[in-house]
Structures are given as C-alpha cells and as structure tokens.
C-alpha cells in the first residue's frame, strides 16, 4: 500500500518537475539597441517549444543598402527563423529556448 501511494505521488510530481524545467523566461522589449532595452521592457514565459523570439529590423536605403535599425524581443508560440521583406523593410527572426533571456543575445548581432 505504501509503495502504491509512493508511485502515485511520483507520477503526480514528476510531470510537474519536467514541465517546470522546460519553461524558459524570455526577454520582452519593444525597442532594443546595442544590448540595451530602450522602451517596453518586460519578460514572458514559454512553457514549451523554441518560443523566445528576436526580430532584427533592417531598413533599405539607396545609398547604403540594408542598414540595421533596431531589435524587438518577445515570446511567440509559432516562432520560426525567417527573413521577411516588406518593400524597404527587412525583418530577420530568430528563435531560442532552454536558457533564460536567450533571445537577448541574438539582438546584439548588428548586421
């Protein structure tokens, strides 16, 4: 009987532990530049999947081509690494998980 109770307890507790271990705290920022958050700083938590998102914004100019403008950090349930072009705007998206605030590091890449 004791073993049975112990088993029940383990079954109940282990999924919780694993569930918690997978959660990643991501940085949220509306305007991130050179490693600093200028506006809209916060955090969000992703419980599963590569949901910490980094979006680097580039603007096209006739003279200099694609120039880095700023970075936005948040959580996304459907995060996929992409390079999207909207006329003279380019948005490069990166996703990460497993390390708290991992999306902050990709925002440091200036190019």
Ligand X SMILES: *[C@@H]1O[C@H](CO)[C@@H](O)[C@H](O)[C@H]1NC(C)=O
Residue 70 in contact with ligand X, rule: CB under 6 A: yes
Cβ neighbours around 79 below 10 Å, total: 23
Please state, in angstroms and rounded to a whole number, the distance separating the CA atoms of residues 39 and 68. 18
Pick between residue 71 and residue 76 the one whose CB is nearest to ligand X: 71
Q: How far is the CB of 1 from ligand X (least distance, A)?
A: 42
Residue 91 in contact with ligand X, rule: CB under 6 A: no
Please state, in angstroms and rounded to a whole number, the distance separating the CA atoms of residues 103 and 27. 7
Residue 57 in contact with ligand X, rule: CB under 6 A: yes
Nearest Cα residue to 68 out of 104, 32, 27:
32
Pick between residue 55 and residue 79 the one whose CB is nearest to ligand X: 55
Q: How far is the CB of 12 from ligand X (least distance, A)?
A: 26
Residue 41 in contact with ligand X, rule: CB under 6 A: no
Please state, in angstroms and rounded to a whole number, the distance separating the CA atoms of residues 58 and 11. 49
């Amino acid at each position: 009987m004791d073993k049975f109770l112990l088993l029940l307890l383990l079954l109940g507790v282990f999924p919780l532990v694993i569930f918690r271990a997978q959660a990643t705290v991501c940085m949220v920022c509306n305007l991130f530049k050179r490693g600093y958050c200028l506006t809209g700083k916060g955090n969000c938590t992703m419980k599963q999947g590569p949901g910490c998102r980094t979006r680097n914004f580039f603007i096209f100019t006739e003279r200099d081509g694609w120039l880095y403008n700023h970075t936005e950090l948040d959580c996304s349930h459907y995060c996929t690494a992409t390079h999207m072009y909207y006329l003279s705007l380019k948005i490069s998206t990166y996703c990460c998980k497993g390390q708290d605030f991992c999306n902050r590091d990709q925002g440091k890449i200036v190019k």
